Amino acid sequence: MTLQANVETIATLPRVLADMNYLVPMAERPRNYTFEPPAGVPRYNSEHEAHRVAIHDARPIADKVSLDANGFALVQHGSAVRDFFDDEEVRRVYYPEIERILKEATGAYRVHIFDHTTRRRVPGVEDRSGGPRQPVQRVHIDHTARSGPQRVRDLLPDEADELLKGRVQVVNVWRPIRGPLLDSPLAVCDATSVGFDQLVPSDLVYPHRVGETYSVTYDPSHRWYYVPRMRTDEALLLKCSDTSTAVPARFTPHSAFVDPTTPADAPPRESIEVRTLVFHR
Ligand code: OGA
Ligand code: FE
């Protein structure tokens, strides 16, 4: 689907209006700690501000969007996993399923799955505070033009030089564990609606390494999508980074959001995301 066709179609799609938390432009480089920093160091040096955006139903255009044209894709896939909170089962059963999905979706010759995160929303609890991981209500991209290839060097040091001669993508695969999902859905932003000047390289500080992510500043051109009442047999593929400069969609902002249509008694969101390196020759 061409960018122009996409822009025309979007007006016909069902949508919700919701707040998205964007980076407030700042002079310093944004820096977030994933743990309690040393005394006197603030956990965050950045501020976010809510902007009301339209978030469109991606299902009617699911067969038209793609990782390279838009930065995301929706696939049908029922998993054989019985307990997504069982890390051993996820690695043994889910990882091979994801590898297959991604090879099929991208034509890649190799997929390296490097981690997964389960989230279970607990009202009033902050993310990374010791309990279950919480939805992320800030517009972000997990990897950048620099940290995508860097992950290859970190995780596959012996093969990195060879692998980086080809094209490398970082792709996340996200799905609800319990469905249909009504609470705290994940929204994705068409990567071709985002200007490179709106992507702000940011430090994400772990105890033993510093990752680079993009924070994102607001622009009214951003086109947002989600999958209403997403089912457990659906998976959202989203491309965080791509070494190819030849494709329109390389960096895909995303964020959880509070859906104003969520019923008060909706079960809290449970989800799993898998992070992968996708290799092309
Ligand atoms: C991701 C992500 C946030 C969420 O999958 O990369 O940012 O709320 N998820 O699930
Ligand atoms: Fe993310």
Nearest CA to ligand 1 atom 10: 135
**pLDDT tens sequence for the chain (281 residues):** 455 556 668 989 999 999 999 999 999 999 999 999 999 999 999 999 999 999 999 999 999 999 999 999 999 999 999 999 999 999 999 999 999 999 999 999 999 999 999 999 999 999 988 899 999 999 999 999 999 999 999 999 999 999 999 999 999 999 999 999 999 999 999 999 999 999 999 999 999 999 999 999 999 999 999 999 999 999 999 999 999 999 999 999 999 999 999 999 999 999 999 999 999 99
> Is the CB–ligand 1 distance for residue 256 below 6 Å?
yes
> Is the CB–ligand 1 distance for residue 136 below 6 Å?
yes
> Is the CB–ligand 1 distance for residue 172 below 6 Å?
yes
Which of 151, 215, 255 has most ligand 1 atoms within 8 Å of CB, for mutation? 255
* Partners of 33 in beta bridges: 205
**What's the pLDDT score for residue 5?**
52
> What domains lie within the chain, and their CATH numbers?
3-280 (2.60.120)
> Is the CB–ligand 1 distance for residue 135 below 6 Å?
yes
Strands 167-176 and 224-226, how do they pair? unpaired
Single-letter amino acid, residue 267:
P
Q: What span, in angstroms and rounded, lies between the C-alpha atoms of 67 and 148?
A: 16
> Is the CB–ligand 1 distance for residue 120 below 6 Å?
no
Counting from 1 in the atom list of ligand 1, the atom nearest the Cα of 271 is 10
Are 71 and 252 in contact by the 8 Å Cβ rule? The answer is: yes
**What's the pLDDT score for residue 277?**
98
